[in-house]
Amino acid sequence: MKRIKEKTRKLENKDGRSWDQPIARKFFRPMAIEIETGELLYGLVRAIKPTNAVETGTFEGFSAINIARALKNNEEGVLWTIDSDEYGAKKMFKDYNVKQWINQVIGLSPDSLEKIVSQNNIDFAFLDSAHTYNTVFSELEVLHRYFKIGSYITGHDYYRYGCIKQAVDDFVNKYPNMYEKVIIGTFTGFFILKKN
């Protein structure tokens, strides 16, 4: 059986570590999540089986497609995905046959996030919007207010951006014993918080 060689791009982090990152088909810009992070999201949603999900930072839709595919295969739930603009994700949702499992919202987080989470029964979140301390910490606070025990908050770029690491760590320290934290050592760092 012939193996297909993935197209790759060279990435380097602040420590000087570099690697060849596979480029997801049709997702060619470096802001898209890595292929293995998409697979991780798919697996988490399949395993956790959330009622509904929310994502901040749609961009071209690769993470949303993986979450929506898992919801579709779980035969339950819908994904709300939020970004400040439409970067071509709508076409991707149609091409990947998941558009009926996705509600795409054009808006800013955390305001749009609060509106969605306060009005819907959501118990899984993936955060990958504005990479600033204030945005990430505010998103975490919104989810804390509305998420029930057993809900999951996940996010991208824990290692890539010190402000994201700081926001996540400060949030967990603000609510001692309320969250289990796991960091998965992908190149950019993937965090998982479970509300206890």
Residue 25 included in any domain: no
Name the amino acid, one letter, at 196: N
What local confidence, expressed as pLDDT, does residue 188 receive? Answer: 85
pLDDT single digits (tens) 117-161: 999 999 999 999 989 999 999 999 999 999 999 999 999 999 988
Q: Establish if 5 belongs to a structural domain.
A: no
Per-residue model confidence (pLDDT) at position 13: 60
Instruction: Give dist(CA 17, CA 128) in Å, integer.
Output: 22
| pLDDT number for residue 4 | 42
- Which residues span the domain enclosing 91? 34-195
Intervals of the chain under pLDDT 70 = 1-15, 17-31
Question: Under 8 Å CB-to-CB from 131, ≥6 apart: which residues?
Answer: 157, 160, 161, 163, 164
pLDDT of residue 1: 41
**How many angstroms separate the CA atoms of 167 and 136, rounded?**
6
39: domain CATH number is: 3.40.50.150
Q: Specify the pTM.
A: 0.85
d(CA 184, CA 192): 8
Alpha carbon 160 to chain centroid, angstroms? 15
The DSSP result for 82-109, as a single string, is: EESS--SHHHHHHHTT-GGGEEEEES-T
Give backbone dihedrals phi and psi of 127, rounded to 5 degrees, phi first.
-105, 125
Q: State the total domains in the chain.
A: 1
Selection from 85, 86, 35 nearest residue 65 by Cα: 35
**194 DSSP β-pair partners:** 152, 180
Q: Is residue 117 part of a domain?
A: yes
Q: Within a domain: residue 29?
A: no
Residue 18 lies in a domain: no
Q: How far is Cα of residue 9 from the mean position of the Cα atoms in its chain?
A: 21
Residue 24 belongs to a domain: no
Does residue 47 sit within a domain? yes
Residue 195 main-chain phi, psi, to 5 deg: -80, 125
Residue 94 burial (CB count, 10 A): 11
**Does residue 80 sit within a domain?**
yes
